């Protein structure tokens, strides 16, 4: 599946989860925020498409997606971001224990 199509699927999924996705230029990493009671996922237009895909997948990964039809290629990316988030949490908890 082409990267543009993956990005489109992720944007549609985010919108189904009640997020508005905005792609803008600026000096920011990207991710979720709330502005005037509106849930947003901001993506930086200056970032390569791979990074935009990863940011969207990371933000979506924390939700239960069982009610949605997600293409396997898109789900693979979301699962990869879930795994990465779990590994980061594990590393953080281990460093706190030291």
Q: Which domain holds residue 51?
A: 3-97
Strands 31-35 and 38-44: antiparallel
The domain total for the chain is 1
Q: What is the CATH number of the domain that holds 23?
A: 3.30.2010
- Residue 65 class from Cβ within 10 Å (0-12 exposed, 13-18 middle, 19+ buried)? middle
- For 38, the token pair is 């509106």
Name the pTM for this structure.
0.86
pLDDT at position 77 is 96
DSSP labels, 14-80: HHHTT-EEEEE-SS---EEEEETTEEEEEEETTS-HHHHHHHHHHHHTTS--TTS---HHHHHHHHH
pLDDT at position 7 is 97
- Locate tokens 């990493």: which residue? 29
- Locate tokens 């990863």: which residue? 54
Kindly give the confidence (pLDDT) of every residue in the chain, 98 residues in length, as a single tens digit, with 9 standing for 90 and above. 899 999 999 999 999 999 999 999 999 999 999 989 899 999 999 999 999 999 999 999 999 999 999 999 999 999 999 888 877 776 776 776 66
């Amino acid at each position: 599946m082409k990267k543009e199509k993956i990005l489109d699927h992720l944007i549609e999924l985010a919108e189904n989860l009640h997020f508005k996705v905005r792609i803008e230029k600026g000096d920011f990493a990207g991710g979720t925020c709330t502005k005037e009671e509106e849930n947003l996922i901001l993506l930086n237009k200056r970032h390569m498409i791979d990074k935009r895909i990863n940011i969207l997948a990371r933000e979506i990964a924390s939700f239960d997606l069982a009610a949605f039809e997600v293409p396997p290629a898109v789900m693979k990316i979301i699962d990869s971001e879930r795994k990465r988030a779990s590994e980061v949490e594990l590393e953080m908890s281990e460093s706190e224990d030291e």
